[in-house]
Amino acid sequence: MKIRGIDYNVEVVSKGEPLVLLHGFTGCIANWNHILAEFPQQQLVLIDIIGHGRTESPSDPSRYEMNEVVKDIVEILDTLSIDRANILGYSMGGRLALSVAATFPERVKTLILESSSPGLNYLEERNNRKRSDEKLAKEILSHGVEKFVQRWEKIPLFSTQDQLSLETKQKLRALRLQNNPVGLANSLIGMGTGSQPSWWEQLSTIEIPVLLLCGEWDLKFCDIAKNMHKYLPTSYLKEINHAGHTIHVEQPRIFGKIVSEFLSQNN
Domain parsing of the chain, residue ranges: 2-266
Which residue type does 93 have? G
Query: What's the mean pLDDT in 215-230?
Result: 97
Class of the 2-266 domain?
A: alpha beta
pLDDT at 159 over 90: no
C-alpha neighbours within 13 Å on the C-beta side of residue 19: 30
Supply the mean pLDDT for the chain. Answer: 96
Question: Does residue 29 surpass a pLDDT of 90?
Answer: yes
> Distance (Å, rounded) from C-alpha 48 to C-alpha 36?
15
pTM over 0.75? The answer is yes
**1 secondary structure, DSSP code:** -
Distance, CA of 235 to CA of 110 (rounded, Å)? 10
Nearest to 164 by CA among 41, 249, 50, 45: 249
Contact 229, 210 (CB under 8 A): no
Please count the residues of the chain. Answer: 267
What is the DSSP secondary structure assignment for residue 15, as one 8-state letter? S
pLDDT tens sequence across 31-75 = 999 999 999 999 999 999 999 999 999 999 999 999 999 999 999
Helix (H), strand (E) at residue 14: none
Backbone conformation region of residue 47, classed left if phi is above 0, alpha if psi is from -120 to 50, else beta:
beta
* pLDDT above 70: percentage of residues in the chain: 100
> Residues 197, 99: contact at Cβ < 8 Å?
yes
Element (H, E) at 85: strand 85-90
- Judge whether 92 and 49 are in contact, CB under 8 Å: yes
> Is 32 in contact with 52 (CB distance < 8 Å)?
no
Question: Cα 126 to the chain's mean position, in Å?
Answer: 19
- Cα–Cα distances (Å) from 211 to 46, 111, 123, 208, 228, in that order, read 19, 6, 28, 10, 11
Query: How far, in Å, CA of 56 to CA of 190, rounded?
Result: 15
Mean pLDDT across 188-195: 95
Residue 253 zone, left/alpha/beta (φ > 0; ψ -120 to 50; rest): alpha
